[in-house]
Amino acid sequence: MKALGNRGGVDAVSQQMASHPQYLESFLRTQHYILHMDGPLPLQYRHYIAIMAAAQHHCGYLVSLHSAQFLRVGGDPLWLQGLEAVPPRLQHLDQLNKVLAHQPWLTARSHIQALLKTGEQCWSLAELVQAVVLLAHCHSLSSFVFGSGTDTVPLHIAPNGTPPGYCLCDAANGNVSAPPPLTTPSEHTTRRWSLDSSCEMVCLKERIQKSQEEKERKGECVLHTQTLQHTDVEDEEEMIYSADPSRFITDPEFGYQEFARREEDHFQVFRVQDYSWEDHGFSLVNRLYSDIGHLLDDRFRSVTALPSSHGPDLKRAIWNYIHCMLGIRYDDYDYGDVNQLLEREMKLYIKSVACYPDATKTPLCPLPWAPLKPSERIHVNLLIMEARLQAELLYALRAITQYMIA
């Protein structure tokens, strides 16, 4: 409430997460840091990498959102025609992007070496670490968007070029501006609310609407519009917002495969006892990308600390089941607990959201636990997102470590 109450509106993702305000605060802080604060990558690169990552799962919501932000920070509209229009160094990132998105266990030292090799289009190690964090963040956020049904909420296009929606992390920076209303109430498109929607979200919107009306009565300026100097740029933006994310995908056939059923025997199980977030990943990422380790660690701790009527055993079962599907194992965990605590329908839901978060290919089965409160359903989606985020980071950071010590 404190973070979003003065904005006059909230984005769909934040509406879903708002039932867990402590986690939402941690999420917004981290996202704002990687997208807007000091870092080696230019702002245009950050949003374009986010587009590339979200496109791997055909997440139109995030692709449209970051396309708008990309233009806001001065990005070249031609880049949004597809990967063939971007500098070679961004094109080179595509291989790592698709591997992390669908089969992260394939991430190898060779991927890192190819990007860091000497040459005009090479990446620095610091740039690559920030890019990896962005990729993993947006891949996992695509899972949350898919699981919560956010991607079914249509994005409107402003005739004056104002991007649809606004940055998910402006609230963390105290930005109280909001986009102008795009339609009259009678013109609004009917929205498909997800299974996670609840009266809590409705109450939040009502309180924010009252706050906005009060500000308007006082004559405060709460609306901020972005004007464009050229009509052709405006037309380009309109085309982009309705664009198919597939224009940013070079290998549409590449997707998730069962780790446990692969015939190849040269990919070993990732054992957390050999390389863990706490003992290895945290220190490496924090050294190469200042403070991000603390922010990510706070996210992991926040989501596991959220209260649940089902107890910590269930949360750990969900977390470890996701890691198991991605080839990560814990020697000190009895995986028989997964079958005892997670019924078959629940495992199908988790697998769908974590491994196939693509609404164009995968119909989302509903959560099987009817008695769950809306906030607990959101909690499940948050656990899936954070477990997947940590899994991708572990694979990428291990590959970077192998490169550095080779």
229, with CB counted inside 10 A (0-12, 13-18, 19+), is: exposed
Residue among 274, 249, 252, 253 at smallest CA distance from 395: 274
Mind listing the pLDDT tens digit for each residue in 337-350? 999 999 898 999 99
Taking each helix axis from N to C end, the angle separating 125-148 and 60-72, rounded to the nearest 10 degrees, works out to: 140
Helix count (H) and strand count (E) of the chain? Answer: 15, 2
Angle (nearest 5°) at CA 395 between 391 and 399: 165
Query: In angstroms, rounded to a whole number, what is the distance separating the alpha carbons of residues 268 and 266?
Result: 6
pLDDT for 376: 83
C-beta of residue 249 within 8 angstroms of C-beta of residue 56: yes
The token duo for 40 is 């080696």
Quick one: pLDDT at residue 148?
85
Token pair belonging to 256: 């998730």
Q: Give the pTM.
A: 0.78
Looking at residue 78, what is its pLDDT? 94
Task: Report, as residue numbers or ranges, the catalytic residues.
Answer: 59
Q: Tell me which residues of the chain have a pLDDT lower than 70.
A: 1-10, 118, 151-243, 260-267, 359-360, 362-372
φ and ψ at residue 223, rounded to 5 degrees? -105, 140
pLDDT at position 4, please? 55
b/e sequence 174-187, b meaning 16+ C-beta within 10 Å:
ebbebbeeeeeeee
| Token pair for 342 | 């997670």
